[in-house]
Amino acid sequence: MRCLDIDEPMTEPNILSGLRTRILGKTVYCYSSVDSTNQVAKELASGGAEEGTLVVAEEQTKGRGKRGRSWESAYGRGIWASLILRPQISSFHTWKVTLGAAVSITRAIRHLTELEPTLKWPNDILIRGKKVGGVLTEISTQRNQQETNPLILGFGLNVTHRQEDFSEKIRRQATSLYIESGKCVSRVTLLQAILQIMEEKFCQLQNSDHEQLLQQWTVLSGCADEQRTQSPRRIGHKVTYLRFES
């Protein structure tokens, strides 16, 4: 039996059932197909959607990665989601959200599977050198200039894809949890784990500086003995991260 035949659909009742977060994902918008979950989240944020609002789709027809590159988002095969965040930080510090999210997703995969994904600066999630997921953070312009511009945190993860589900263009570079493990992973369970770890991570970051986050990222990247020259280590002060209370 294929993973697609037994996997739970990404619906609000399924996602909320057993979700143990206080903020992230407590409000959920689920769609069968959208152009981009980030775009939907931007529109919701512009309308005043609360922090932690989650947008999930079974399919993206115009999914995007870094530098505007397209992201294949096959129907029912992965986690295609975006969160609305309202951090009290400048746009210059949004890399911390990106790294925190990438670390959280990697840890969730390691927790629920026997796989050991690694990270590639700044937002790629790899397994055995092939891309299995990624994170895209974008600033959403707020109509009310008195309010902080929302941050849209989008993430995509290939879960139940078979090799033939990828286009020939990316087949050699892309992979999925199913391809790498041979086992079916519940997308709903994995999404719940990601949200929980993300919330814990953002709480920790509220009172810690970026050095701890960079250290965690470096360990998960498999480059613990290297100093990444592109890492923004020159930023030396603490920030208020999100409105989460530890």
Could you tell me if residue 241 is inside a domain? Answer: no
Mean pLDDT of 204-226: 59
Range of the domain at 98: 3-221
Structure tokens at 70: 């397209």
Could you tell me if residue 234 is inside a domain? Answer: no
Supply the pLDDT for residue 244: 40
Could you tell me if residue 58 is inside a domain? Answer: yes
CB 185 within 8 A of CB 29: no
Tell me: pLDDT of 215 over 70: no
Supply the pLDDT for residue 222: 59
- Mean pLDDT (the chain) is 82
Question: The domain spanning residue 17 has which CATH number?
Answer: 3.30.930.10
Tell me: pLDDT of 204 over 80: no
The gap from C-alpha 156 to its chain's centroid, in whole angstroms, comes to: 6
Could you tell me if residue 226 is inside a domain? Answer: no
Could you tell me if residue 227 is inside a domain? Answer: no
Single pTM value for the model: 0.84
Supply the pLDDT for residue 139: 84
Supply the pLDDT for residue 58: 97
Mean pLDDT of 30-50: 96
Which percentage of the chain shows pLDDT scores above 90? 61
What is the number of domains present in the chain?
1
Supply the pLDDT for residue 239: 32
Residue 30 DSSP code: E
Between 155-159, 160-164, 231-235, the lowest mean confidence (pLDDT) is in 231-235
Could you tell me if residue 169 is inside a domain? Answer: yes
Q: What is the pLDDT of residues 130-155, one digit of tens each?
A: 999 999 999 876 555 556 688 999 99
Mean pLDDT of 174-197: 97
DSSP codes, 174-239 = B--HHHHHSS---HHHHHHHHHHHHHHHHHHHHTS-HHHHHHHHHHHHT-TT---TTS-TT--S--
The residue written with tokens 């959607």 in the block is 49
